[in-house]
Amino acid sequence: MARKELVDASQVLGDDSRSEALRKQLERIQRAESVISAVLRIGVLLSLLVVVVGVAVSFVGKPGTYLHNNAINKALLTRSSDYPHSLSAVFSGLSHFQGEAIIVFGLIILLATPILRVLVSAVIFAFQRDRYFVPVTVFVFLVLVTSFLLGKAGG
Amino acid sequence: MGSFVVELFFICVVAGLAGSLLGIGGGIIVVPVLTLVFHVDIRLAIGASIISVIATSSGAAAAYVKEHLTNMRVGMFLEVATTTGAITGAYVAGLVSQKVLYVVFGVILAYSAVQMFRGHFRNTERPVPKDALADRLQLHDAYFDEAEGREIRYKVTHTKFGLFLMYIAGMVSGLLGIGSGALKVPAMDLAMRLPMKVSTATSNFMIGVTAAASAGVYFARGEIDPFVAAPVAAGVLVGAVGGSRVLPRLKNGFIRSLFVVVLLVISIEMLYKGVA
């Protein structure tokens, strides 16, 4: 794998600039990268797993939804309100082991992953006392939260 | 109708693959396929394309970040502009004619495509102008290029101009719901002078956040249909993870050519929507 080349921070810096401060900075960046990469990977795998389970449950529990032409065509050509699109509806659907609700829950995990990534980076930068990137990531996180609140109000 | 799920899944694998290589969301494939081939309602198709953008981004970024292909500092700094731009876009959406926007951005994308094509023949070793902001934020970086078998160091420049372009890119995605990656990559490649693969990987890193900013709205409006979105999410994730294994081994020049072609297609699509 190529990443082994980068584990050695001195290689990125080159022999000429292997100062202690720079080496430390690169190590910090690499630590942040492995945490953020793990957050993304876990989010993606978890959502994929939940979505697949949801599809399977839909097939088994309510074959009509996916298997009958008429039902699916009608569902796709119009915006239906049959499926859950509020958090409370999703959770009540989950408790009844509804396929749709499980799929939507998986999609929510997917949507939350980039937002969680921003939050985790803010925490990492705070630990590293990065005076530029703490405000940068906190600002982005607040903008995301604001847009969700505005979206709720407007939509 | 099980075939609907299977077909859509495989088409989305291709969308995820292309998106992860080029730093775009795959909406240019997902939306036309859903509306034209499967006759899905346009609003549900756009909802599914939001899912596609986030899946492409997170699916590939996990690998790109770890491989140090993504310049996370550049990405996170520019996200300040893309997210604010996205909110602005959502607010001014009613004020400007969509048709005019399609024409304007169709032209901008065509111009970027031409500039990027000319970049092929430009001397890549030409000096990068000094940029105090990039120095202070420590944006300069290096990555190991598997295709060339060596480490490539690069300097970042025109950070402020890049920030401005990202604000515009964010606004466009807020206004039109599409095309944010198509503007981000040229901005990083042409203005900020990042290597091509770093540009696509960093754009890929950022588009998930821009899309997440508007995802809440689509979800609340009930435009993210689980039965459309499920095969899209699964297919795109598989494709994006696959693409992320391939990109490190591809040459910058090849990615650039591929990007120019796709950029021209998007620009024609936009111009058509603006005129038709």
Predicted-complex ipTM score = 0.90
Rounded to whole angstroms, the Cα distance separating B23 from A48 reads 21
Query: H or E stretch including A150?
Result: helix A133-154
Structure tokens at A37: 């990469």
**Which residue bears the tokens 């993304």?**
A40
A and B: number of Cβ contacts within 8 A: 216
Q: Is A43 within 8 Å of B58 when comparing Cβ atoms? A: yes
Q: Is B233 within 8 Å of A110 when comparing Cβ atoms? A: yes
Give the 3-state secondary structure of residue B123. coil
**Cβ neighbour number for residue B102 with a 10 Å cutoff:** 22
Structure tokens at B44: 């549900």
Chain B interface includes A93 (CB < 8 A): no
Q: Which residues neighbour B228 within 8 Å (Cβ) at sequence distance 6 or greater?
A: A76, B8, B34, B40, B44, B45, B47, B48
- From chain A, the residues in CB contact with B67 under 8 A are 2-3, 6
Q: Is B233 within 8 Å of A6 when comparing Cβ atoms? A: no
Q: Which residue did the predictor score with more confidence, A12 or B17?
A: B17
Side chain identity at A109, as an amino acid letter? I
Of B79, B142, B212, the CB nearest to A12: B142
Q: Is B58 within 8 Å of A6 when comparing Cβ atoms? A: no
Q: What is the pTM of this model?
A: 0.87
Q: Is A51 within 8 Å of B84 when comparing Cβ atoms? A: no
CA distances from B267 to A4, A150, B105, B108, B109 (A): 40, 31, 7, 8, 6
**Residue B177 C-alpha, separation from nearest chain A C-alpha, in angstroms:** 14
CA distances from B9 to A78, B19, B134, B255 (A): 21, 15, 41, 25
Residues of chain B above pLDDT 90, percent: 51
Of B55, B216, B228, the CB nearest to A151: B216
- Cβ atoms of B209 and A144 closer than 8 Å: yes
Q: Is B87 within 8 Å of A40 when comparing Cβ atoms? A: no
Of A2, A144, A155, the CB nearest to B209: A144
pLDDT in tens, A48-106: 999 999 988 887 765 555 444 444 444 544 445 456 666 777 777 777 777 888 988 99
Structure tokens at B181: 């990656």
For residue B144, report the phi and psi dihedrals to the nearest 5 degrees: -95, 115
**Residue A39 C-alpha, separation from nearest chain B C-alpha, in angstroms:** 8
Mean pLDDT of chain B: 88
- Cβ atoms of A58 and A100 closer than 8 Å: yes
Rounded to whole angstroms, the Cα distance separating B159 from A21 reads 24
Of B41, B77, B220, the CB nearest to A76: B41
User: In chain A, positions 14-43, which contact chain B (CB-CB < 8 Å)?
Assistant: 14, 25, 29-30, 32-34, 36-38, 40-41, 43
pLDDT in tens, B186-218: 999 999 999 999 999 999 999 999 888 777 777
Give the pLDDT of residue B100: 85
Mean pLDDT of chain A: 76
Of B58, B65, B226, the CB nearest to A114: B58
- Closest residue of chain B to A8, computed from CA coordinates: B144
- From chain A, the residues in CB contact with B228 under 8 A are 76
**Residue B55 C-alpha, separation from nearest chain A C-alpha, in angstroms:** 7
Which residues are bridge partners to B145 per DSSP? B150
Give the 3-state secondary structure of residue B193. coil
